[in-house]
Structure 1
């Protein structure tokens, strides 16, 4: 089968299209014919080996898993003899903590992060759900305890996590302010944002407005900078766990009413992620949530897709089709 392989850290040029052996499912696994995957900022970090702390997960001297790609959507081609939840021909979507979605076939345990694909959603769009939405949901619902009527600001509202965060915050009944660049203002407004701020023209920390939740989905801000923009019991969320952020998270858990919170959403138990996939599927099928796709690339152009994502200006998700 075709797969994108990398054996050393570096630029997108380290990604090579190769023919490798097709995997065989174990008794408790399903074999998925992958129709779509994604390129995320995390994929680019793992490929480059920077920041260095990422290597504690991927391998200090070189990649332990030589095939990247976490999100996928496809069709089950065969199942192991002990599999009960899925059958041959099922259309599925989900994610893999062991990567290897940049390939024509992928084996996953039946109790892994996998669910039946939303009706009428393309495989490419379905693959994109497993990225930003599975991050935005636990941050807003579990970490911030979002409530109806709260004021929520989403920094990076046009990105993969941000586009879902805007829609989910609206679903939970919040008043949403989205922060993005000039080119993406209308898109963010169309997703349901009540107000939009163009960060190239205005600093949201200097408007005098205060929020119950500030969700920095791109790690471009800080608690120190946003503290005055939080209400007395406000919560600052960030997807980028810098050393300073982790110290502030520990400090604010003991002192003061304003809190800093981070969650390693990718490391949550599979059973929790599957519940969230099912919940997100219901929102999609009832028209309350939709993926935003910026660009689509064939597998053979994945290096170009990585280069594009690394520029940091993608809108929503970048999808790879097989």
Structure 2
């Protein structure tokens, strides 16, 4: 089969299209013919092994997972023994987690990490949901504990997670403030944001508005600044670092570590989000999508052999919402 492989850390040029063996499903696994895969910031961090502290998990001198990519959608080709709920021919979607391998024609995945594809979404749309949607659900519902009537700010509202977070926060009855650049103001409004802050003109941390939940997907403000705009019982949820340019030991992990250290000593709740693939979140996302409550936003699509160009586009931070690979 064809796959995008990588044998050393580095820029997109370290990725190449190669012929590799088609995987065989083990017990409890399903073999999926991949129709689409989605890019995440995780992919370029894993590609570069950056920040360097991430190599403790990814592999010290080279990535342990040779094939890149996490999110996928496709059709089940075969199943291993002890698979109970999935059959050949089923349309599915899922997140491979740190195992990677989605930028390929076929992938083996544990049955517990796939779910039926939303019937009203294309494979491209479904591939855009797993990691971004799980992060948005966990950040708002689990960590943020949002309720109807609360005021929620989403910093990084035009990204893959942010575009889904705006829709989910609106769905839960929150008053949503979206922070994004000038070109994405209309997009944020179209997704349901009640207020939009153009960060090229205004600094939301100097505004008079106060929020019950600040969901930070960018990492470009200090914890002090984020806490300044909270209500007395407000929460900051930290996830990711979209403006990080690379080349340091800690990168956006530094803000996350400070959040963990500070959390026990401040009146506000500071929550560091840790995500992992989970079928429960896929089922929730499918239900919302099939009911028309959320719709993935896709910026661009690329064929499999152009994954290096797609990651270069994502790295340059010109992307909004999701970039998807067709296979």
On whether the aligned pair clears a TM of 0.5, the verdict is: yes
Contact 2:163 2:191 in 1 (8 A): yes
Contact 2:233 2:268 in 1 (8 A): yes
Shift of 1:312: 1.6
Query: Alignment partner of 1:73: what SS?
Result: strand
Contact 2:219 2:255 in 1 (8 A): no
Shift of 1:275: 1.0
Contact 1:157 1:165 in 2 (8 A): yes
Aligned equivalent of 1:313: 318
Structure 1: 5+ residue runs without aligned partners?
Answer: none
Contact 2:144 2:235 in 1 (8 A): yes
Separation in structure 2 between the aligned mates of residue 242 and residue 276 of structure 1, nearest angstrom: 25
Aligned equivalent of 1:144: 144
Contact 1:178 1:195 in 2 (8 A): yes
Q: CA RMSD in A?
A: 1.2
Separation in structure 1 between the aligned mates of residue 18 and residue 168 of structure 2, nearest angstrom: 39
Contact 2:259 2:272 in 1 (8 A): no
Given the alignment of the two structures, is residue 47 of structure 1 paired with residue 47 of structure 2, yes or no?
Answer: yes
Separation in structure 1 between the aligned mates of residue 118 and residue 257 of structure 2, nearest angstrom: 36
Aligned equivalent of 1:173: 173
Shift of 1:27: 2.8
Given the alignment of the two structures, is residue 288 of structure 1 paired with residue 293 of structure 2, yes or no?
Answer: yes
Structure 1, residues 86-132: CA drift from partner, whole Å, max 9, x if none?
00100000011210111100011212x11000012100110100121
Query: Alignment partner of 2:128: what SS?
Result: helix
Separation in structure 1 between the aligned mates of residue 326 and residue 9 of structure 2, nearest angstrom: 24
Shift of 1:243: 3.2
After TM superposition, the structure 1 = structure 2 runs for residues 67-216 of structure 1, keeping only pairs within 5 Å, are 67-97=67-97, 98-111=99-112, 113-216=113-216
Contact 1:245 1:260 in 2 (8 A): no
Query: Number of matched residues?
Result: 315
For 1:303, which of 304, 308, 311 is the aligned residue?
308
Aligned equivalent of 1:8: 8
Contact 1:35 1:74 in 2 (8 A): yes
Separation in structure 2 between the aligned mates of residue 248 and residue 66 of structure 1, nearest angstrom: 32
Query: Alignment partner of 1:139: what SS?
Result: helix
Contact 1:223 1:245 in 2 (8 A): no
How high is the TM-score relative to the length of structure 1?
0.95
Query: Alignment partner of 1:133: what SS?
Result: helix
